[in-house]
DNA sequence: AGCACGCCGACT
DNA sequence: GTCGGCGTGCTC
């Protein structure tokens, strides 16, 4: 100890901790990366750390990203120096703890990264993005540049203006120059020190603002108002405006009303008022204009909100049974035939759950989430109801997200992705049409099934889950039969409506007898004719869009195929072009055969478009409308078509799957399934289930409100087993038959499947990679559980050749977990192979 | 996923 | 000779 001081400084007692802890956070980047990344919290900002909040970090040399804080700790990373967090965005979580837990489970279960889950979960407006901007360099502004600038460069400099420091984004520069290669110009300007580049995080959520007006403060007394009218006596237009304002906002009764004012548009757009008078009043300081941030979902308190409706006896019984079963089980399946009034039961249960103070999530397949159902729910739940739909704008989604966080929305009705919303105290989840395959996300990752996710949320949050369907998924019904789920059945239709009468039409026989007219049997045609004559409506179902799936040259047999996919091009008559339904490629319809020059190009097969066309000729008296992906692409087209049909402007609705879902049309008395065989003959184990569900669901559209409906099914082979089950409308019988098939062939629910797809531009390499992958899988899991590799029916999509491997696993959790690890390991081995660098490997857990 | 670093063809 | 193609590897 060598001290140079006279008085020794106090012995270095362990300093009473200066409380200077260094915090680190693990963040989830919105990227498909397998790990979390650790950043350091600037000491002064320790208090700002929020788990589930967003932070901005520098990732790599050039990128600035926003990400979610998943964990906070004090452990400095050993192998590297953590970078600092640049900025904190939120002072409260945007992602709740229960969500983080759920997202971790999803990533593990569906074999993807947390980043991918986060990416799918967050509305993109919550994902800040770095937008590169350029600005004039201060040195250049002061001294100019020693280098000469060319024309393009000068234009950019001009646009950036002088001292005011205006910044342009790259896109803006691109627009300015009208050329794509603006990077060169920017680069050159940067080298000349004329501009510099900076990154700016832009919050993409913009609140909705309305312009409002109110009376300027010093006029808000009776006396002042009266005086005002005197002064304005010679300005009748302005007086009109003021009168209107006072009528809407009776300031003389209550001065405080003035604070809220009214929307400016209410005055300016009124036909009796002059907009310029409004502006004059504002200019003269009599009215004042202000902005107010408003919700995109107007808070209209509905007086009818609590209006009770009467459940039928059957509904009441079912509701009570559900409630009783919830006492013993967390999951209940409500098996109710089409038209049995499940929705009313849901509403009743939701109301009940809300009274208990919990949140409710009500999931519907996309095509079933219609204005019809939303209006109905709005009427009951008013402003407590949030709606989450894929056709919503991003801003609207953020509002729902925030509304759930703030507690404003206690019920959300939504599609698949609504399972990502930040609930933290759900007491009830409803999955309607639980068998629907649209609950499963195919691509991209996470390839989740919202039904399964809902079940897991229920499990995590201690909430009850109600699954509803007229045609439950075989897996679901099995669980109910096993006693794992409660089961409630509703076998009667609501009201007096009976089940429709189903009839098969043997098209093969009729064709031989020359009783087929194009794709219509005379039976179907005459049935349609008579229904239309009786002012009743008809739905025709054909599960194929477009005009014809194939065109062929009559002379040489040539069939136009997609250049990027292994499919023939479908003919779309309206657009007069050939389209690929897999990659979207399209080209004009050729006038002659590209191979032999013949003009004899004929269509083969038929889609909704051709049916619509044929009907217009065969039933000229009918008003025919088509509803499929092609006619509903525009934002409100769907609503338009439904509306027209509802108001009976159309007699016949021809459509794909879309017409099968949850639409209640009271006047439909006939449903025709034009080609049942196309639905049954599908190369996978679920074909029968899907066909059964489809037939029953379409049939369910026939006959409601007391009218007995009729269903005509055209098929080339009426003897197929499945028809028997459909006609007798006996789900149990169908189930009994199907479950045996599943047991015998070891399909779900007796096993759990994982489908691996290998994609490669090179056919041979795709196959080689798949063979290696299979080998690696067999080594780890055993030969018996690995099937394939095999090219799928459509073996090439978007220029990638596909190979599929299916793994059938035991449903035991531990086995499953281990198997997934093994599968990952096997995939990594293939990925690490130099030869297969270009291969893409995708795992799909519980494929549909 | 981007973005940088690094090694081989068609242009000033 | 350089500009630029995209193959490979990393990002706290």
**Site of tokens 């066309």:** A613
Strands A426-432 and A464-469: parallel
Q: What's the pLDDT band for A426 if we cut at 50, 70, 90?
A: very high
From A146, A130, A27, A133, select the one nearest A83 (Cα to Cα).
A27
Q: How far is the CA of A837 from the C1' of C8 (A)?
A: 9
Tokens at residue A313, please? Answer: 């006896």
Q: What's the pLDDT band for A791 if we cut at 50, 70, 90?
A: very high
Compute the distance between CA of residue A471 and CA of residue A338 in angstroms, rounded to an integer. Answer: 9
Nucleotide nearest to A77 (CA to C1'): C12
pLDDT above 90 as % of chain A: 36
Residue A100 lies in a domain: no
Nucleotide nearest to A181 (CA to C1'): C4
Digit-coded pLDDT (tens) for A200-250: 555 666 767 788 888 888 888 878 888 888 888 888 888 888 888 888 888
From A814, A816, A829, A815, select the one nearest A779 (Cα to Cα).
A829
Nucleotide nearest to A40 (CA to C1'): C12
Q: What's the pLDDT band for A177 if we cut at 50, 70, 90?
A: low
State whether A830 and A691 are in the same domain.
no
Nucleotide nearest to A130 (CA to C1'): B2
Residue A787 and residue A745 in contact, taking contact as beta carbons nearer than 8 Å: no
State whether A411 and A318 are in the same domain.
yes
Neighbours of A429 (CB within 10 A): 28
Residue A27 and residue A70 in contact, taking contact as beta carbons nearer than 8 Å: yes
State whether A826 and A756 are in the same domain.
yes
Compute the distance between CA of residue A546 and CA of residue A528 in angstroms, rounded to an integer. Answer: 22
The residue that leads in pLDDT, A753 or A537, is A753
Mean pLDDT, range A247-268, rounded to an integer: 83
Residue A395 lies in a domain: yes
Compute the distance between CA of residue A699 and CA of residue A710 in angstroms, rounded to an integer. Answer: 8
Q: How far is the CA of A204 from the C1' of B2 (A)?
A: 21
Strands A752-760 and A800-809: antiparallel
State whether A531 and A653 are in the same domain.
yes
Tokens at residue A740, please? Answer: 């045996």
pLDDT on residue A394: 78
Q: Whole domain around residue A367: which residue ranges?
A: 313-490
Nucleotide nearest to A33 (CA to C1'): B1
What torsion do the CA atoms of A710, A716, A721, A727 make, to the nearest 10 degrees? 0
Compute the distance between CA of residue A471 and CA of residue A247 in angstroms, rounded to an integer. Answer: 56
- Answer whether residue A189 shows pLDDT above 80: no
- Answer whether residue A612 shows pLDDT above 80: yes
Cis upstream peptide for A789 (omega within 30°)? yes
Compute the distance between CA of residue A276 and CA of residue A112 in angstroms, rounded to an integer. Answer: 59
The residue that leads in pLDDT, A777 or A521, is A777
Residue A102 lies in a domain: no
**Contacts of residue A780, Cβ cutoff 8 Å, sequence gap at least 6:** A822, A823, A825, A826
Residue A109 lies in a domain: no
Burial label, A790 (beta-carbon count in 10 A; 0-12, 13-18, 19+): middle
State whether A536 and A650 are in the same domain.
yes
**Contacts of residue A691, Cβ cutoff 8 Å, sequence gap at least 6:** A676, A679, A680, A682, A722
Mean pLDDT, range A530-544, rounded to an integer: 87
A551 Cα distance to chain centroid: 34
Residue A660 lies in a domain: yes
Residue A99 lies in a domain: no
Give the orientation angle of helix A222-231 with respect to helix A236-248, to 10 degrees.
160
Q: Which residue is nearest to nucleotide C10 (CA to C1')?
A: A60
Tokens at residue A795, please? Answer: 């073996």
pLDDT on residue A414: 96
Nucleotide nearest to A62 (CA to C1'): B3
- Answer whether residue A746 shows pLDDT above 80: yes
Query: Residues by CB within 7 Å of nucleic chain C, which ones?
Result: A 33, 35, 37-40, 57-60, 77, 80-83, 184, 834, 837
Compute the distance between CA of residue A17 and CA of residue A779 in angstroms, rounded to an integer. Answer: 56
Give the orientation angle of helix A342-355 with respect to helix A371-381, to 10 degrees.
30
Mean pLDDT, range A168-186, rounded to an integer: 60
Give the orientation angle of helix A97-109 with respect to helix A114-121, to 10 degrees.
120
From A827, A834, A846, A839, select the one nearest A774 (Cα to Cα).
A827
Mark which of A70, A93, A116 sits at the end of a domain.
Answer: A93
Give me chain A's average pLDDT, please: 85
From A725, A748, A728, select the one nearest A736 (Cα to Cα).
A725
Residue A426 and residue A461 in contact, taking contact as beta carbons nearer than 8 Å: yes
pLDDT above 70 as % of chain A: 88
Chain B footprint bases within 7 A of protein beta carbons: 1-4
Confirm whether residue A556 is marked as ligand binding.
Answer: yes
Digit-coded pLDDT (tens) for A352-396: 999 999 999 999 998 787 777 888 899 899 889 999 987 777 778
Residue A565 lies in a domain: yes
pLDDT on residue A298: 57
Confirm whether residue A593 is marked as ligand binding.
Answer: yes
From A619, A472, A602, select the one nearest A540 (Cα to Cα).
A619
pLDDT on residue A328: 95
Q: What's the pLDDT band for A424 if we cut at 50, 70, 90?
A: very high
Mean pLDDT, range A487-511, rounded to an integer: 81
Mark which of A741, A776, A799 sits at the end of a domain.
Answer: A741
Residue A426 and residue A350 in contact, taking contact as beta carbons nearer than 8 Å: no
pLDDT on residue A421: 97
Residue A568 and residue A604 in contact, taking contact as beta carbons nearer than 8 Å: no
State whether A789 and A841 are in the same domain.
yes
- Answer whether residue A20 shows pLDDT above 90: no
State whether A539 and A595 are in the same domain.
no
Residue A112 and residue A445 in contact, taking contact as beta carbons nearer than 8 Å: yes
State whether A424 and A359 are in the same domain.
yes
Burial A51-88 (b: 16+ CB within 10 A, else e): bbbbbbbbbeeeebbbbbbbeeeeeeeeeeebeebbbb
Q: How far is the CA of A418 from the C1' of B2 (A)?
A: 29
State whether A728 and A770 are in the same domain.
no
Q: How far is the CA of A597 from the C1' of C5 (A)?
A: 40
pLDDT on residue A8: 43
Tokens at residue A531, please? Answer: 């229904």
- Answer whether residue A180 shows pLDDT above 80: no
Residue A564 and residue A676 in contact, taking contact as beta carbons nearer than 8 Å: no
Q: How far is the CA of A149 from the C1' of B9 (A)?
A: 32
Angular region, A111: left φ>0, alpha ψ -120 to 50, beta rest: left
**3-state class (DSSP) for residue A152:** helix
Q: Which residue is nearest to nucleotide B3 (CA to C1')?
A: A62
Number of independent structural domains in chain A: 7
- Please name every residue paired with A66 in a beta bridge, in sequence order, or none if there are none: A56
Residue A713 and residue A503 in contact, taking contact as beta carbons nearer than 8 Å: yes
Q: How far is the CA of A834 from the C1' of C4 (A)?
A: 24
The strand ranges marked E within A171-295 are 195-202, 208-215, 262-263, 287-294
Nucleotide nearest to A39 (CA to C1'): C12
State whether A421 and A567 are in the same domain.
no
Compute the distance between CA of residue A774 and CA of residue A538 in angstroms, rounded to an integer. Answer: 50
**3-state class (DSSP) for residue A790:** strand
Q: Which residue is nearest to nucleotide B4 (CA to C1')?
A: A61
State whether A352 and A428 are in the same domain.
yes
Residue A674 and residue A519 in contact, taking contact as beta carbons nearer than 8 Å: yes
Per-residue CA distances from A152 to A143, A172, A175, A185, A316 (Å): 20, 14, 12, 7, 75
Q: What length is written for chain A?
A: 848
The residue that leads in pLDDT, A39 or A178, is A39
Confirm whether residue A583 is marked as ligand binding.
Answer: yes
Query: Residues by CB within 7 Å of nucleic chain B, which ones?
Result: A 31-33, 60-63
Residue A373 and residue A413 in contact, taking contact as beta carbons nearer than 8 Å: yes
The CATH number of whichever domain residue A194 belongs to comes to 1.10.10
The strand ranges marked E within A629-733 are 652-655, 668-673, 710-715
DSSP letter assigned to residue A30: S
Q: How far is the CA of A398 from the C1' of C10 (A)?
A: 33
State whether A661 and A590 are in the same domain.
no
Mean pLDDT, range A606-624, rounded to an integer: 85
Residue A126 and residue A83 in contact, taking contact as beta carbons nearer than 8 Å: no
Mean pLDDT, range A84-102, rounded to an integer: 91
The CATH number of whichever domain residue A619 belongs to comes to 3.40.50.300
Chain C footprint bases within 7 A of protein beta carbons: 4, 7-8, 10-12
pLDDT on residue A172: 64
Q: How far is the CA of A177 from the C1' of B10 (A)?
A: 27
Residue A546 and residue A570 in contact, taking contact as beta carbons nearer than 8 Å: yes
Confirm whether residue A562 is marked as ligand binding.
Answer: yes
Burial label, A703 (beta-carbon count in 10 A; 0-12, 13-18, 19+): buried
Compute the distance between CA of residue A151 and CA of residue A160 in angstroms, rounded to an integer. Answer: 14
Number of H helices, E strands in chain A: 27, 36
Mark which of A246, A267, A294 sits at the end of a domain.
Answer: A294
pLDDT on residue A29: 94
Q: How far is the CA of A836 from the C1' of C7 (A)?
A: 12
The residue that leads in pLDDT, A373 or A124, is A373
């Amino acid at each position: 100890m060598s001290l140079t001081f006279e008085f020794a400084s106090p012995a270095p007692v362990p300093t009473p901790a200066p409380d200077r802890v260094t915090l680190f956070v693990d963040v989830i980047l919105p990227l498909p990366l397998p790990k979390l990344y650790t950043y350091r919290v600037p000491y002064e900002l320790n208090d700002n750390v929020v788990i589930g909040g967003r932070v901005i970090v520098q990732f790599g040399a050039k990128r600035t990203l926003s990400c979610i804080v998943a964990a906070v700790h004090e452990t400095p990373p050993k192998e590297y120096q953590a970078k600092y967090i640049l900025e904190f965005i939120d002072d409260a979580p945007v992602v709740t703890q229960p969500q983080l837990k759920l997202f971790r489970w999803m990533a593990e279960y569906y074999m993807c990264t947390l980043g991918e889950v986060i990416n799918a979960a967050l509305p993109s407006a919550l994902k800040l993005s770095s937008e590169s901007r350029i600005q004039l360099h201060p040195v250049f502004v002061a001294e100019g540049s020693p280098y000469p600038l060319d024309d393009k460069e000068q234009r950019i400099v001009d646009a950036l203006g002088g001292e005011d420091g205006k910044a342009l984004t790259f896109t803006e520069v691109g627009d300015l120059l009208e050329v794509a290669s603006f990077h060169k110009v920017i680069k050159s300007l940067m080298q000349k020190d004329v501009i510099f580049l900076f990154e700016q995080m832009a919050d993409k959520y913009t609140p909705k603002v309305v312009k409002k007006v109110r009376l300027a403060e010093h006029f808000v007394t009776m006396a002042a108002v009266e005086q005002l009218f005197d002064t304005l006596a010679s300005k009748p237009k302005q007086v009109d405006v003021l009168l209107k304002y006072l009528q809407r906002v009776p300031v003389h009764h209550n001065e405080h009303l003035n604070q809220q004012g009214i929307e400016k548009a209410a005055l300016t757009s009124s036909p009796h008022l002059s907009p310029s008078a409004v502006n004059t009043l504002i200019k003269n300081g009599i009215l004042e204009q202000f902005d107010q941030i408003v919700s995109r979902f107007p808070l209209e308190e509905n007086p009818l909100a609590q209006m009770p409706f009467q459940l039928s006896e059957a509904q009441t019984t079912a509701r009570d049974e559900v409630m009783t079963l919830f006492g013993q089980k967390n999951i209940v399946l409500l098996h109710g035939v089409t038209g049995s009034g499940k929705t009313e039961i849901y509403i009743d249960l939701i109301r009940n759950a809300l009274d208990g103070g919990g949140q409710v999530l009500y999931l519907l397949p996309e095509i079933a989430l219609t204005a019809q159902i939303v209006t109905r729910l709005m009427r009951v739940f008013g402003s407590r109801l949030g709606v989450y739909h894929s056709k919503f704008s991003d801003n609207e989604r953020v509002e729902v997200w925030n509304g759930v966080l703030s507690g404003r929305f206690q019920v959300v009705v939504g599609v698949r992705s609504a399972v990502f919303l930040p609930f933290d105290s759900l007491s009830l989840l409803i999955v309607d049409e639980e068998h629907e395959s649209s609950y499963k996300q195919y691509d991209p990752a996470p390839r989740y099934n919202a039904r399964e996710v809902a079940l897991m949320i229920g499990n995590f949050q201690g909430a009850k889950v109600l699954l509803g369907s007229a045609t439950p998924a075989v897996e679901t019904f099995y669980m109910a039969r096993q006693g794992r789920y409660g089961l409630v059945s509703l076998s009667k239709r609501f009201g007096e409506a009976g089940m429709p009468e189903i009839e098969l039409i043997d098209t093969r026989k009729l064709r031989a007898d020359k009783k087929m007219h194009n794709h219509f049997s005379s039976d179907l045609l005459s049935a349609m004719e008579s229904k239309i004559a009786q002012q009743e409506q008809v739905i025709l179902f054909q599960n194929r869009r477009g005009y014809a799936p194939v065109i062929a040259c009559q002379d040489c047999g040539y069939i136009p195929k997609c250049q990027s996919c292994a499919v023939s091009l479908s003919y779309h008559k309206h657009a007069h072009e050939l389209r690929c339904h897999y990659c979207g490629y399209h080209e004009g319809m050729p006038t002659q055969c590209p191979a032999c020059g013949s003009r004899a190009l004929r269509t083969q097969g038929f889609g909704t478009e051709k049916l619509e066309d044929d009907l217009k000729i065969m039933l000229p008296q009918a008003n025919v409308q088509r509803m499929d992906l092609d006619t509903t692409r525009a934002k409100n087209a769907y609503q338009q078509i439904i509306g027209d049909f509802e108001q009976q402007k159309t007699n016949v609705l021809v459509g794909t799957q879309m017409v099968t879902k949850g639409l209640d049309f009271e006047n439909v008395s006939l449903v025709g399934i034009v080609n049942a065989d196309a639905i049954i003959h599908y190369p996978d184990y679920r074909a029968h289930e899907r066909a059964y569900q489809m037939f029953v669901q379409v049939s369910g559209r026939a006959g409601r409100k007391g009218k007995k409906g009729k269903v005509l099914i055209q098929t080339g082979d009426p003897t197929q087993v499945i028809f028997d089950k459909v006609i007798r409308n006996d789900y149990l019988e169908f189930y009994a038959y199907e479950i045996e098939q599943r047991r015998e062939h070891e399909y779900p629910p007796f096993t759990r499947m994982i489908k691996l797809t290998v994609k490669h531009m090179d056919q041979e390499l795709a196959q080689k990679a798949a063979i290696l992958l299979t080998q690696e899988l067999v080594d780890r899991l055993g030969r018996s559980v690995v099937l394939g590799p095999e090219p799928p029916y459509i073996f090439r999509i978007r220029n990638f050749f596909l190979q599929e491997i299916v793994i059938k696993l035991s449903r035991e959790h531990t086995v499953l977990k281990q198997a997934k690890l093994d599968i990952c390991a096997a995939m990594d081995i293939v990925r690490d192979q130099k030869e297969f660098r270009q291969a893409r490997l995708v795992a799909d857990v519980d494929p549909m």
